[in-house]
Amino acid sequence: MAPHLGWFKSVGDGMKVSARNQLKGKIVAVTKGQTTAHVRIDIGGGVIVTSSITNEAVDDLALKVGDDAFAVIKASDVMVAK
């Protein structure tokens, strides 16, 4: 799946965000720690994106394995190395 590029794209049920990179996929793992959870999203082509978010966010969003989800990436810098 290709990223959605552009300002104020709709995510899910019409929520709009200003982040340019929105990667749609399916949640394949949710691992909670003491305060932080790791959510793994399969975006296709063998690529998994992992997000570190609070346990509270996992609960508020009711995230679970098998859910469709977006990895929304907002970064001021993207570094390239070779």
Average pLDDT over every residue of 54-66? 96
Query: For the whole model, what pTM was predicted?
Result: 0.76
Q: CA 30 to CA 65: how far, in whole Å? A: 7
pLDDT at residue 12, rounded to an integer: 58
Say whether 55 sits in a helix, a strand or coil.
helix
Average pLDDT over every residue of 25-48? 97
| Cβ–Cβ < 8 Å for 25, 63 | no
Cβ-in-10-Å burial (0-12, 13-18, 19+) of 39 comes to buried
